[in-house]
Amino acid sequence: MMKKWPMTKTWIIVPSLTFFLLQMAMGQDPWLLGFEKPPFNPILAADSTAQFTDPLSGATVHWQKADVFNPGAIVRNDTVFLLFRAEDDPDAILGGRTSRIGLAYSTDGLQFEKYAHPVLFPSKDGFGIWDQPGGVEDPRVVELPDGTYLMLYTSWNRKVARLSAAISNDLREWEKKGPVFNAAYGGRFMNAWSKSGSVVTELVDGRLVAKKILDRYWMYWGELFMNLASSEDGIHWEPLLDEHGDLLRVFEPTLNDFDSHLVEPGPPALYTENGILVLYNGKNLSGEGAGSTVPENTYCGGQVLFGKENPARFLRRLEEPFICPSLPHEVSGQYEAGTTFIEGLVYFRDQWFLYYGTADSMVGVAVARDD
């Protein structure tokens, strides 16, 4: 069993995995809760000494000098791996830096070692029209049933954000596949703003593995609203449309609450007996329509449940955020209004580990223990 440590509580103290599964079996609340923050947060920060030869310019760049944040997570060979976003130029404005994706590993889920070089970055690879000059951002990673790893990330050319895919067999060497909506509906959504792909997964032998429903993979995605898409291979995706031919909004912000501005998908979704559980990033508005329980413009984590055989069917929303900024580094940095931006989730050593970006500057972790 993992060594125990004193915890700093988040907003709510709630059940462990065992109780979570028991609740589902009894038809009670299906939420994944009980997360607490270890006291030595943050777990990853910028490193001004890390260097990398940029394949575009040939120059040496300090690729994680500015900020390190918004990680995806996965378990491989009894090790937790984080794929994190790193920015290079601390003097550039928000959105004006180049992002690359780095890799870190841990045998306890808490203390991480970074690999020296990024594993995904703008290069002379034919994807520059989407990846340059802003780079590649905010990865989510899942394991496919054949053992291949799928990364969904944002390609940022500083004009349009596009949700893109890459695949790997070892988490270190990645093959870019390009924007995920490039072929859907004759390319109709190729130039539409798209971000944050949360693929539906199922807990199999302690690992979260992408699950097919009705012979297709499913992905919640979007930023302001939560949309839905399906795929046969996990690489080429088709958004679901409503009766008017517009993107189907399966979940929208709730005015006068913590998620009044946007509801952006977080880590890979979880297929459970009670439905598909999506952990998401809710942002509060500023001014009219803002919620009063959290500060304006703050990002907190929420949860929403959809039908397990119909991923578009909204069932319930957790009325309170289950994680919010509460530590000094979570309300300072690039985004001072406060951010716990959740992106990575693993089940490891009988515990849930939730990894998140703090104020677009560092990486934090919260743990739900199974006592």
> What are the structural domains, with CATH classification, of the chain?
8-45+124-368 (2.115.10.20)
Q: d(Cα 363, Cα 106) in Å, to the nearest integer?
A: 14
Check pLDDT > 90 for residue 7: no
Q: CA–CA separation, 253 vs 250, rounded Å? A: 11
What pTM, to 2 d.p., does this model score? 0.91
Q: Where residue 370 falls among pLDDT bands split at 50, 70, 90?
A: low
CA distance 310 to 333: 40
The predicted-structure confidence for 156-208, as pLDDT tens digits, reads as follows: 999 999 999 999 999 999 999 999 999 999 999 999 999 999 999 999 998 99
Q: Report the C-alpha gap between 89 and 86 in whole angstroms.
A: 10
Vertex 81 angle, CA 338 and 79, to 5°: 130
**Residue in 120, 104, 171 with CA at minimum distance from that of residue 143:** 171
**Average pLDDT of the chain, as a whole number:** 91
pLDDT digits (tens, 9 = 90+) for 238-277: 999 999 999 999 999 999 999 999 999 999 999 999 999 9
Rounded-to-integer distance, Cα 112 and Cα 134, Å = 26
With beta carbons less than 8 A apart as the criterion, state whether 81 and 105 touch: yes
By three-state DSSP, how is residue 129 classified?
helix
The pair of structure tokens assigned to 195 is 């971000």
